[in-house]
Amino acid sequence: MRAAASDLPLMFVEASIVAREVTILDRVTLTVTSGAPTILIGPNGSGKTTLLRAAVGLTPLSNGRITWGGRNTEMPSKSAIMFQRPTMLRRTAAANVRYALAAANVPRGQREEQAAELLALVGLGELGSRPARRLSGGEQQRLALARALARDPAVLFLDEPTASLDPYSTKAIEDIVLAVSARGVKVVMSTHDIGQAKRLAGDVVLLHRGRLIESTRAPEFFVTPHTEEARKFIAGELLV
Amino acid sequence: MTGDMTALQLVLTGDPGLFAIVRLSLLISMSAVLLAALVGVPVGALLALTRFRGREVPIVILNALMGLPPVVVGLAIFLLLSRSGPLGSWGILFTPQAMVIAQTVLVAPIIAALTRQTIEDLWIEYRDELAAMDVGPGRRIVTLIWDARFSLVTALLAGFGRAAAEVGAIIIVGGNIEGFTRTMTTAIALETSKGDLPLAVGLGLILIFIVILINAMAWAMRHAGERYAG
Amino acid sequence: MINRRTVMVAAAFAAAILTTPVCAQDKSIVVSSTTSTQDSGLFGYILPLFKEKTGIDVKVIAQGTGQALDTGRRGDSDVVFVHAKSAEEKFLAEGEGVKRYPVMYNDFVLIGPKSDPAGIKGMKDIAKALQTIKDKQADFISRGDRSGTHIAELALWNKDAGIDIEKEKGPWYKSIGQGMGAALNTAGASNGYVLSDRGTWLSFKNKGDLQILVEGDKRLFNQYGVTLVNPAKHPNVKKELGQAFIDWLISPEGQKAIASYKINGEQLFYPNASDPSA
């Protein structure tokens, strides 16, 4: 589904999250528009996960605001998020997807068919009747992706989806992400893997210690980064 | 049912008196567990999922109630149901109904406490995903209870074990009336005091067999849960 | 597995259990009685005869005499059938009962181990036997539960043997607060003496080393009486059905049934409803 004109741009305006005197997000101002994937990069603890969670309303802001398509909505209606370590429901793979479809108010009669399609899309077509918790790591990640796509999102948030996967599974996920993006779904994904960012990015957003350091289109970011931190990060130096 | 025959003979000949006692025991304990589940599962689930100030208090109380002494419960219900008590007009003292009530009171806290623990643990696991899937509170409770069903049934079996084994409450509120409110445990108590030990031992063996059966079912339940849902 | 249908069936099952009215609610009475009438098997024998004749189900709560009368006082039983005349008369004096009818008697016997440490076997005088037990400090088991047997035992100590047992007891006197069967079990296990009603003794299955050592003294006579709980005080009492039971017990038919109850050819209870002084 193409991102409706009313959902994007997603804007963070001076978004801050402070918890127990620790600043997790520090006045982040960012605009996400439709098009190629937006990749969030940065060292661990830079706030990537928190930014994604804030976007879908899982973590409330302490200050600032998030707007969708210019409106002040807290909980976006057509977005989905996939976590770094997704939790499988204690049921079969297909049942997991059917559950996500039901939660997205898909009529009962259509769920089985759509679940089969989604499973096929993520390459789990043969594994529908296996208990989800007995799938491999890569398979579980793909199932989580199928669950997220079940919501027919306009914007798909992914939190380091391939961080714990082998290269084969990583490629599988990346292929799906690109396919989904090509179909008009806006992808916002975090990663600490520079290579992955290079492979997937339309826009690159660099975070460090909760602050937005730089937000640039992909080829330019990697060749001529604007900030010192970006240059160091790309060169593989540790940002402290 | 005479005590002259050995327990084995009674079982093998299908002595109706003996089987009436076994049937009554199972009926009372099963009914109590079902009622206790009707009360305990929702209470446990609600306690697991709601957040309010002083939440630890009901949780601690619930855990403490698991250790209610059966005789005390029996005495309390006896005083309530006696004709000269507040609920005397119900006229159910010395009936199986009173025994079901007593055992329900004993078993409900167990089921509620175990449900709370189970649901709370599962909730912590599922919280983010359910929120990400935009699942409302109603569907959330149903999903948690359904996905935790194997553990919950294990809790019910624990409750049944407690009910089937107790004698203090039901002998007080039931009166151990022959052919009417006499169960395995109360019959064992009676026959032992009468010196009819073979019969008491026979009933005891049947009771132990049932307890083992319950535990086997609980184990099979956990096993099935793992196999089915992973 | 556990699906919706199983749940519905189970719930219906529980509902059925709970709403099924107490069976034969209409034609049944609750009689609070003593453990001796139950443990001896008398009720098991005569109640089916009564039910056959009248269709009335008699539900017996077997307790000690004291408890049985208390159950009547609370209105939780319709009829009390016990064996402690003094306690029964007090019951009537309180207005808790309508009228006391003597029904039957049996006797108490002093049971003890074959080894007879106090050397009382064959004595004809119960007071002397008890005195000897106390002097020799032999283990004596008391029911201690306000039952008819317990009341009779205390009377034997205090009135007949002239021993204020409450004051003069020692570690040899063990009050267990339980029924006759339990007392016999305890006596058997600790080689002690115990006062028992003959009926329970005859039907007791764990006699082991125990035997009757003293019997026949007139003071060991044990009278049973039956009383309707006063419906004026407890409106829920089923007075017609309860009175029907009493009437049957004292009728020639009922008295014959009581007399015909035997264990190993030995009669346990002797009907004496026609004895005005009983």
A interface with B, Cβ–Cβ below 8 Å: 56, 58, 75, 80-83, 86-91, 99-100, 103-104, 131-134, 147-148, 151
Mean pLDDT throughout C244-249?
96
* Predicted-complex ipTM score: 0.86
Residue C9 in this model has a pLDDT that exceeds 90: no
Chain C partners within 8 Å of B28 (Cβ): 17
Tell me the per-residue pLDDT of B116-128, one tens digit each, with 9 for 90 and over.
999 999 999 999 9
Joined tokens for residue C250: 């004292």
Structural domain containing residue C176:
107-220
Mean pLDDT throughout A173-195?
93
Structural domain includes residue C130? yes
Measured over all CA atoms, what is the biggest interatomic distance in chain C, rounded to whole angstroms? 74
- Give me the number of domains chain C comprises: 2
C242 and C213 co-located in one domain? no
- pLDDT class for C49, splitting at 50, 70, 90? very high
- Alpha carbon C206 to its chain centroid, in Å, reads 19
| Chain-chain contact of C61 with B177 (C-beta, under 8 angstroms) | yes
Q: DSSP H helical segments within C156-219, as ranges?
A: 165-168, 180-190, 198-203
Nearest CA in chain A to B150: A90
Residue C22 in this model has a pLDDT that exceeds 50: no
Whether chain A has a CB inside 8 Å of the CB on B129: the answer is yes
DSSP code for B88: G
- pLDDT class for B14, splitting at 50, 70, 90? low
Q: What is the pTM of this model?
A: 0.81
Tell me the per-residue pLDDT of B176-216, one tens digit each, with 9 for 90 and over.
998 899 999 999 998 887 777 777 888 899 899 988 998 89
What is the overall mean pLDDT for chain C? 89
Tell me the per-residue pLDDT of C170-185, one tens digit each, with 9 for 90 and over.
899 999 988 888 899 9
Mean pLDDT throughout A216-224?
91
Tell me the per-residue pLDDT of B26-79, one tens digit each, with 9 for 90 and over.
999 999 999 999 999 999 999 999 989 999 999 999 999 999 999 999 999 999
Give me the domains of chain A, ranges plus CATH numbers.
1-78+155-240 (3.40.50.300), 91-152 (no CATH)
Whether chain B has a CB inside 8 Å of the CB on C124: the answer is no
C114 and C79 co-located in one domain? no
Residue A69 in this model has a pLDDT that exceeds 90: no
Window from C131-140, C199-208, C264-273 with minimum mean pLDDT: C199-208
Mean pLDDT throughout C237-250?
96
Write the CATH number for C75. 3.40.190.10
Q: Give domain B8-229's CATH superfamily.
A: MetI-like (1.10.3720.10)
Task: Check if the beta carbon of residue C28 is closer than 8 Å to that of residue C60.
Answer: no
C132 and C34 co-located in one domain? no
Residue C272 in this model has a pLDDT that exceeds 70: yes
Count CB pairs under 8 A between chains B and C: 86
| Chain-chain contact of A148 with B126 (C-beta, under 8 angstroms) | no
pLDDT at residue number C264: 85
Q: How far is B163 from chain A (nearest CA, A)?
A: 30
C100 and C112 co-located in one domain? no
C85 and C142 co-located in one domain? no
- pLDDT class for C35, splitting at 50, 70, 90? confident
C39 and C71 co-located in one domain? yes
b/e burial code for range C226-243 (CB count within 10 A of at least 16 → b): bbbbbbeebeebbbebbb
Chain B partners within 8 Å of C60 (Cβ): 177-178
Whether chain A has a CB inside 8 Å of the CB on B143: the answer is yes
| Rounded Cα–Cα distance for residues C36 and C196 (Å) | 9
Mean pLDDT throughout A45-70?
89
Nearest CA in chain A to B134: A103
| Rounded Cα–Cα distance for residues B105 and A82 (Å) | 45
Residue whose token pair is 């553990």: B151
pLDDT at residue number C8: 63
| Rounded Cα–Cα distance for residues C256 and C259 (Å) | 5
